[in-house]
Chains A and B, each alone.
Chain A
Amino acid sequence: MDDHRERRGLRESATFDRLTIHEIQRAADTGIYDIRGFGAKRKVPHFDDLLFLGASVSRYPLEGYREKCGTDVVLGDRFASKPLHLDIPVTIAGMSFGSLSANAKEALGRGASAVGTSTTTGDGGMTDEERGQSRTLVYQYLPSRYGMNPVHLRMADAIEVVLGQGAKPGGGGMLMGQKISDRVAHMRTLPKGIDQRSACRHPDWTGPDDLAIKIEELREITDWEKPVFIKIGASRPYYDVKLAVKAGADAVVLDGMQGGTAATQEVFIEHVGIPTLAAIPQAVQALQEMGMHRKVQLIVSGGIRNGADVAKAMALGADAVSIGTAALIALGCNHPRWEADYEKIGSAAGFYDDYHAGQDPAGISTQDPELSSRLDPELAGRRLANFLRVITLEAQTIARACGKSHLHNLEPEDLVAINMEAAAMARVPLAGTAWIPGQ
């Protein structure tokens, strides 16, 4: 079809390509910006632009399956008396009940618990389903404070103070009316059916000095037991990480621009924030300069899809990673078995991103009882556990090839970049050279 057009001399504009034209037409039709879920879809320098240098003569590899390659991680032992001990360094990111169905939340808890890792609540409070099925549950403390209460705070295993999200640093959450069911409305103390926009600023503190006092309060309320994480969207990670550490964080969660979201303006998703790859070295530098690398753990998210991504994030200095979109896909999001249903709502398996609309054929990003009953939490939890096992094995495979007996022993020295952008951002040499742009 395209060839045919070209033969006829029709030339698509690089500036006004078909997607751009479609968006102008859509805006003119509706008078409202495009809102969607998923993460940034544009191409940015990413982990795919890095390669590992496997061992040979100058380095000594470990035997594939036989030799030990540790994967465990302790998060939050700076101040908390009960830090998290996880078996694998891949955690499940905070995704709200409201954006996700109760079954999906339960499935995330089941999958994470089966492999000894943590899951996280979200903007909307803690549900019994997820607490019940999550061995280790991190409780998000967000600007909206929807459903926030001290009972759940004490029931949590860690507290994550959310300052931002990679998909929308500087923006608050959204939940469209279709998804504000009776239960969601009740949990958030909101009228049913409204298009809810969460606050982007915390209501009772401004600036890093106040944040330190806020953290002190959270610790007092929970008797200094729980680790306190601070989650930031990647924009100025060098400064934000320093301030988070100064404010008393036990761990920093750094979410790059490719990070998923349940509902955000497309213009925000695609144009605000910096790529995960560019954010990690800045964060690590900040920690190192403070003498806090490995003392305040760095948890990286935003576009983590496989064991290579896990290994690369860790080699750049992360202590653990966190996944959102990949976890939903493992549960069954965008699965071809629902192809006909995706077509009906104008999408396709592999393209579906209308998490905000609440019509998810896979029963994950919906509050519709009929649709959410399509997701069997036990089965979906098993699928997630399988996926988490695979990516852990993949990361171990790479680490062993680099001669590392623990994923934490991976280091920047194990990496090269295949293009200049990635070399400059990740601060590793361009493959085949000793050149790190900017250094």
Chain B
Amino acid sequence: MKSISLAEHSVREVNQLLHDQARELTEGQWRITEPDGRHALACGLDQELHVVIDGHAGYYCAGMNQKATVEVNGTVGVGVAENMMSGRVHVHGNASQSAGATAHGGLLVIDGNASARCGISMKGVDIVVGGNVGHMSAFMAQAGRLVVCGDAGGALGDSIYEARLYVRGSVESLGADCIEKEMREEHISELRALLAQAGMETNPAEFRRYGSARQLYNFQVDNADGG
């Protein structure tokens, strides 16, 4: 385990050290201390590293992650794990807006609450939130699964494509083209697996499922002329 303090090193130095591991893996375990809300921490990783950030991180923590596991013992700013491709990001605290935005793969776990636009434009990632999510979550969500153990804010899943949303608590309102869907056995079992992966002890049978009504997929053309 290598420990680096951001009180002594710049973000650039720390990220470069982590990026160098993609070329040649010499140290797999990293601890970053005194992050003090700095942005772009541990972003662009491309190696099977385990990175622990001890404290609060700013915007885009673990952005575009590939392969690595990043844990944050604190809160994170906007866009944690944005566009993640693979690996695992676990926030032991709350997250700001756009958590997991556009992410293609991997697992994002937020033990606390996530703010607005959680999972916006998600493209295959799995996101499990222990608490609530804010408004416009899963906006234009294309693929992947968003699990919310608490409540969801307004306009959930607005203009959603093929992502699947599971919410245990209340949903303030559903966005355009998002509807509640039947919770079948296959959904309960995929949810059970996701909750287990995220380390959440919640009963999957208590969730409701939401997804696309697929009414906005194509333009409506009338052809009144009989064409």
A residues near B (Cβ < 8 Å) are: 28-32, 144-145, 148-151, 153, 177, 188-191, 193-195, 199, 203-205, 210, 213-214, 216-217, 220-224
Give 1 or 0 for each of B185-227: 1 = CB within 8 Å of chain A CB. Answer: 0000000000000000000000000000000011111111101
User: CA A223 – CA B221 in complex, angstroms?
Assistant: 49
Asked whether, in the complex, the Cβ of B124 is within 8 Å of the Cβ of A217, the reply is no
Q: Which residues of A contact B104 (CB under 8 A)?
A: 149, 189
| Contact between chains at B123 and A189 (CB < 8 Å) | yes
Q: Check A149–B83 contact: CB distance below 8 A.
A: yes
Bound CA span A32–B223, Å: 9
Q: Which residues of B contact A (CB under 8 A)?
A: 11-12, 15-16, 19, 39-40, 43-44, 46, 58-60, 63-64, 66, 78-79, 82-83, 85, 97-98, 101-102, 104, 117, 120-121, 123-124, 139-140, 142-143, 161-162, 217-225, 227
Give, as a whole number of angstroms, the nearest-CB distance from A26 to chain B.
Answer: 10
State which of A29, A190, A210 has its C-beta within 8 Å of the C-beta of B224: A29
Q: Please tell me which one of the listed residues B39, B140, B142 contacts residue A217 in the complex, with CB atoms under 8 A apart.
A: B39
Say yes or no: A150 contacts B101, CB within 8 Å: no
- Whether B101 and A221, one on each chain, are in contact in the complex, defined by CB atoms closer than 8 angstroms, is no
Task: Say yes or no: A217-B63 contact (C-beta < 8 A), given A145-B123, A149-B83.
Answer: yes
Distance (whole angstroms) from the CB of B110 to the closest CB of chain A: 15
Top 5 A-B pairs, shortest CB-CB distance: A221-B44, A31-B222, A204-B79, A204-B98, A145-B102
| Minimum Cβ distance to chain A for residue B24 (Å) | 15
Q: A31-B221, A222-B44 are in contact. Are A150 and B85 (CB under 8 A)?
A: yes
Q: How far is the CA of A203 from the CA of B122 in the complex (A)?
A: 10
- Tell whether, in the assembled complex, residue A214 and residue B60 are in contact, meaning their CB atoms are under 8 Å apart: yes
Q: Is the CB of B222 within 8 A of A189?
A: no
User: Is B63 within 8 A of A189, CB to CB?
Assistant: no
Q: Which residues of A contact B82 (CB under 8 A)?
A: 203-204
Cβ distance A232 to chain B, nearest Cβ, rounded Å: 21
B219 lies within 8 A of A150 (CB)? no
Contact A204 B101 (CB under 8 A): yes
Looking at the assembled complex, report how far the CB atom of B219 sits from the nearest CB atom of chain A, in whole angstroms. Answer: 5
Contact A213 B59 (CB under 8 A): yes
User: Residues of B contacting A204 with CB < 8 Å?
Assistant: 60, 78-79, 82, 97-98, 101-102, 117, 120
Residues of B with C-beta under 8 A to A32: 219-222
Minimum CB distance partner of B66 in chain A = A150
Q: Write the chain A residue with the least CB distance to B225.
A: A29
The answer to whether A191 touches B121 (Cβ under 8 A) is: no
* B222, A213: Cβ atoms closer than 8 Å: no
Q: Is B161's CB under 8 angstroms from A190's CB? A: yes
Report whether A217 and B143 are in contact in the complex, using a CB–CB cutoff of 8 Å: no
Residues of B within 8 A of A221 (CB): 40, 43-44, 63-64
Taking a contact as CB atoms closer than 8 A, the residue among B97, B123, B161 that contacts A191 in the complex is B161
How far is it, in angstroms, between the C-alpha of A323 and the C-alpha of B83 when the chains are bound?
Answer: 30
Query: Shortest distance in angstroms between B78's beta carbon and chain A's nearest beta carbon?
Result: 6
Residues in A with CB closer than 8 Å to B15 are: 220, 223
